[in-house]
Amino acid sequence: MELFDLSVITGSLPEFWRGLWMTLQLTGFALLFGFFAAIPLAVLRLSPNRLVSTPVAAYTYFFRGTPMLVQLLLVYYGASQWEWMRAAWEAGHPLWTLFREPYFCALFAFGLNTCAYTVEILAGSMRNTPHGELEAAKAMGMTRLKALQRIVIPSALRRMIPTYSNEVILMLQGSAIASAVTLVDLTGAARNVYSRHFAPFEAFVFVGLIYLMLTFVLVGLFKLAEQRWLAHLAPRKAGAGRSS
C-alpha cells in the first residue's frame, strides 16, 4: 500500500484547479471590497463626533469579535429570517436572488469581515501619522479634508502595508470555510476528492501545499511593496550618507 498515491492528485487536477480559481475569486473580490470600503469608514472611525464614530466602532467590534464562519452562516441561512428579505422574496425582488446564491453570501460575509479589520488597521495607522507631516500640511494652508486626501491617508496606507499583509494572508486561509455553504473552493475540492477516493492524506496535504505556496507568493509581494513604499523608514546603515 503506497503512503502517498499521486494518481489521486493527478486524476483530480481539474477539480483542484476549479477550487483554486474559486478561492482566488472569493479572496480577491472580498479584499478589494473591504479595502476600498475601509478608507471612508476609517475616517469616520476617527471622527470626534461620537454619533459618527460609535456605529463604525460597533461594526468593527462585532465582526472582529465573532468567528467568520458564524458570520457566513448568519448571512447564508439567516437572511431568510428577516422580514424585509421575505417581503423581497414574495415580490420577486432581485435582492432575494442575490442572497439566495452561496457565492454572493460568501463574498458579502468575507467582504464585511475583512473590511472591519482593515478599518481598524488603517485607523490605527492614521492615528500614528507623524506630527511633522501634519504641521507641514498646516504650514501649506491645507484644510483638514485636503490634508486627509494628500497627507494623512496616503501616508497611512503606506505604513499599514506590513500589518495589512497579515490580514490578506488570514483572509486567504479563512476563505477555506466557503465549502460550508456548498461552494467548491480548494478545501471543498479536497473534501470531494477524499469522499470519492477515500484518500484524505493525499487530498488535504496537496491542498495544504497550495495554500502554503500562495502564502509564500503573498509574503514575497508584500516584501517588494515594503521595499518600494517604505524604504525611507528602514534603519540607515552605520556610516550611510557620510562622505569618504
Contact 143, 182 (CB under 8 A): no
pLDDT of res. 236: 62
The b-or-e profile of 106-139 (16+ CB within 10 A means b, else e) is bbbbbbbbbbbbbbbbbbbbbeebeeeeeeebee
Contact 119, 38 (CB under 8 A): yes
In angstroms, the CA 203 to CA 30 distance is 26
> Alpha-carbon Rg of the chain, whole angstroms?
23
Q: How far apart are the first and last CA of the chain?
A: 68
DSSP state of 236: P
pLDDT of res. 205: 93
Contact 136, 98 (CB under 8 A): no
Nearest Cα to 37, choosing from 107, 127, 99, 101?
107
pLDDT along the chain (244 residues), means of 10: 77 95 97 97 95 96 96 86 66 72 94 97 94 87 88 94 96 95 94 89 93 97 92 62 45
To 5 degrees, how large is the angle CA 235–CA 160–CA 48?
A: 120
Quick one: what percent of the chain has pLDDT higher than 70?
87
Cell of 211: 495554500
pLDDT of res. 128: 92
Using left for φ > 0, alpha for ψ between -120 and 50, and beta otherwise, residue 92 falls in: left
Q: What is the DSSP string of 194-222?
A: HHHH--HHHHHHHHHHHHHHHHHHHHHHH
Residue 137: enclosing H or E segment and its boundaries?
helix 131-139
CATH code matching the domain that covers 6-232, chosen among 1.10.3720.10, 3.30.365.10, 3.30.1540.20, 1.10.1660.10: 1.10.3720.10
Give this prediction's pTM: 0.89
In the chain, the amino acid numbered 208 is G
Determine how many CB atoms are found less than 10 A away from the CB of residue 40: 12
DSSP state of 3: S
| Domain segments of the chain as ranges | 6-232
pLDDT of res. 242: 47
Contact 60, 205 (CB under 8 A): no
Cell 472569493 identifies what position? 26
